[in-house]
Amino acid sequence: MPISYNEQERIFRLDTPRTTYLCGLAGSENFLGHVYYGPRVPDDNMGYLLRLEERPFTPDGNPGERASFYDCFPFEYPAWGGGNFRQPCLRTAQGGGSCELFYDSHRVFPGKPPLEGLPAAYGENCSTLEIVLRDPVSDIKVHLLYTVFEDVDVITRSARVENGGSAAVDLTAALSASLELDNEDFDLITLHGSWAREQTIDRRPLASGKQAAFSLRGISSHQFHPFLALCEHSAAQEHGLVYGMSFIYSGNFLAQAELDQFNKVRAVLGIHPDGFSWRLEPGASFQTPEAALVCSGEGLGGMSRAYHDFFRRHLIRGQSKRRPTLLNSWEACYFDFDHDRLLHLGQEAAKYGVELLVVDDGWFGRREDANSSLGDWRVNEEKLPGGLKHLGEELAELGVDLGVWMEPEMISPDSELYRAHPDYAMAIPGRTPSLARDQYVLDLTRREVRDCVYEQISAVLRSAPISYVKWDMNRPLTDVYSPSLPRSRQGETAHRYVLGLYELQERLVTDFPDILLENCCSGGGRFDPGMLYYSPQIWTSDNAEAVDRLVIQEGTSLIYPLSAMGAHVAACPSHVNGRITPFQVRGRVSLPGCFGYELDLDKLSPEEQALIPGQLEEYRRCGPIFRGGDCYRLASYRENGAYDAIMAVTKDKSAAVVSFVQVRSRAYRRSLRLKLAGLEESALY
C-alpha cells in the first residue's frame, strides 16, 4: 500500500515510486508534525526527527514552555496562536485569531475525490489519506487530504475547513499546504517577470526571514508564478535534491519560504491571506485549492519531468486532443480585416498546409480598436457578411479549420451591454472604477452575469464550424467588490470571482467537448495549473520574438510540459521589441511547443516562404516527441548568454530529438560538443 499508518510509532507514511513522505503524532494532545519528505526510505521508524526529546519538549512533558514548543515544532498544518510566530496556514477573526489543532481521526481510501468547484488532479491508480484535525474550543475541523499516485512522484495536498460549532466563524487565512524542512544550504527558485517577459527563473540563496512569490492582482499574474522550489545549492539539472510546490489555482496566491532562528524552513502555499476572508456559518465548510508537491533526487530536471508527467496524466483533461498548426490573424492585420482579407489568409494557410485560421480580436460588435464592444459577443456582419458561419464554410472547402478569439470576462464602457447593465462591471460604491486597456472586469461572482456572458459566447460557437477558442483576459482585478455580498463579506469576492471563472470554463468544455480551448491572459498572465485543467494549452507570452522566447519558454518548461506552451513564429522585426531574427531561428524556437504563425505569410520573402513546408514537416515529425516525451535541459541561453538546447526522449527511449539555437557566436571558436541525456546507453540512435 502506498499509504499506511504505524500505530506503534504513530507515523503516517506515503510512498510515491521514488519518494517517502512521513508525518506523525506528538504528545498526549496529539499534535500533528511533519517528520520527513525525501528519497524513499525502507521504514517509518523516524519519529526521532520530530526532536521530541529535545527542549522545550511537548507541553505535556513541560507545560511551562508551551509557547516555546509552538515556536519550534514542525506543524503539518500550522494555525495561528499559542506561540506559533511563523506563517500560519489557518487563522480566524474570532478569539484573537488563535486556533489549536489536534489529531481527531483519519481514514485511507482508494482513488481521489474531486474538489467541488475547483480544478484538481484526477486518477484511478492513486490512494488518498484524510487526516482530521480539530480545535476543541471553536470546534473547527480541518480535513487534510493527501493523494499519492502510483505512476508519478507527486503528492497532492489540500484542506477543507469545517465549522462544527454553533457560531459563525470568519477565516482570514486558509492555505493549502505547509512543508517543514531542515535547511540543507537551500537555494530558493521562483519565476518572475512582467508582460512580454514572463516566467524568468530566479535562483538565489535562501536567507533568514520570509521570501515570497505572490499575487494580489486577482490573477496568478505575469509578475510572479504560483510555484516555488527549494534545492541544494549544488543541485543542477540532473543531480541534487529539489523540492517543488505548485498551486492548482488561478487567483491571488502566496508561495513563501521562511527561514527561522533554528535554521529550519517553513514553506507554505495557498490563497494569499491579504484581502481574504470567508464566512463559515455553523455546519459550512471551505475547500482550499490543491497543491502539488514534488521531491526529486535527480535535480531540477527530475522535478520538471515529474511535474510534466503529472500534468499530462492527471490534470490536463484535453491532453490527447489534436494540436493543429495555426495561423493567427493578430500580427497579420490586427483590427484591419474583412471577410475577403481573412479568406485570403486562409488560402495562404492552405497553400502551405497550415491547418487552422484563428480570427483574433475585432470580429464582434463595433470593434475597430481596443476601446469598445467587449461584452457584445455578436458577429459584425458589416465586416463579415454571412457571419463566422460563411467564413468557416469557405475555409472548410480549403481544408482549413476556423478558430476565434474571445475575452468573455471583460466589458467596455462603450458597449451595448454596459449601457444596459453598468452594474455588471466590478466597482466599489462611491469610487471611480479603474480602467485598464479601456475596459472593466465583469462581476463573475454573480450568476446572472455569468449566464449573460455564456449565452452570448455559446450562441457564437453554435453558429459556425468553430474548432478552437482562444480565451483571453487582458487586465488585473482592481475594484474587487460585488453587490451580491454584504460589506462584511467582501473578502470573499476575489476567490468567488475565480470560482465563477472556473464554472464558465467548465460549462464551455462540457457543452463543446470537441473544441480546443487555449487560455491566454495578455500572454502568460494566467499560465497556471488551474487553467490547464480546462485548456490543454496556454498562450505562453504576447512576446513571440525568438531570443526572448528562449528565456520565457525555459522558465515555463521548468514546471509545465511542452505540450502546454503556445509557440508561434511571429512577424519580423518583432512587434514587441523590434529585434530582427532569422525566420529559420523563429521556427526552431517555436518547434517544441504548440506550433503556429502570427504574421502575414504574403509579406515573407520567397526564401522564407520556401522554409514553411519544412518547418511544418519538422513539427509533425518531432512535435509528438517534444509533447509526450521526457524533457532534458542541455543548455540555457539565460545562463550562458550564447546558446540554448533542449532535448526530448520518447517514453520507450526509441527516439529522441534535440533543438539547438545559437544566439551569439565568437570569432575563431571551434564547434560545441553537447552531452545528450536520457538515452538508452546500449542503443544506437
Joined together, the cell numbers standing for residue 239 give: 543531480
CA distance 169 to 172: 10
For the beta carbon of residue 672, count every other beta carbon within 10 angstroms. Answer: 12
Angle of helix 546-557 relative to helix 583-590, nearest 10 degrees? 10
**3-class state of residue 334 by DSSP:** coil
Q: In this structure, are residues 226 and 181 in contact, taking their beta carbons and an 8 Å threshold?
A: no
CA distance 58 to 65: 8
Q: In this structure, are residues 445 and 370 in contact, taking their beta carbons and an 8 Å threshold?
A: no
Taking CA atoms, 558 is separated from 21, 250, 299, 539, 569, in Å, by: 23, 18, 11, 16, 22
Q: Annotate 327-349 with b (16+ C-beta within 10 A) or e (fewer).
A: bbbbbbbeeebebeebbebbebb
Q: How many residues does the chain have?
A: 685
Chain Cα centroid distance, residue 63: 44
Neighbouring-strand partners of residue 147: 128, 156
Catalytic positions:
472, 542
**3-class state of residue 202 by DSSP:** strand
Joined together, the cell numbers standing for residue 343 give: 479568406
CA distance 194 to 169: 38
CA distance 562 to 542: 17
Chain Cα centroid distance, residue 4: 31
* 609, amino acid identity: Q
Residue that has been written with the C-alpha cell 492527471 in this structure = 314
Joined together, the cell numbers standing for residue 515 give: 473544441
Backbone torsions φ then ψ of 16, nearest 5 degrees = -95, 180
Residue that has been written with the C-alpha cell 519544412 in this structure = 614
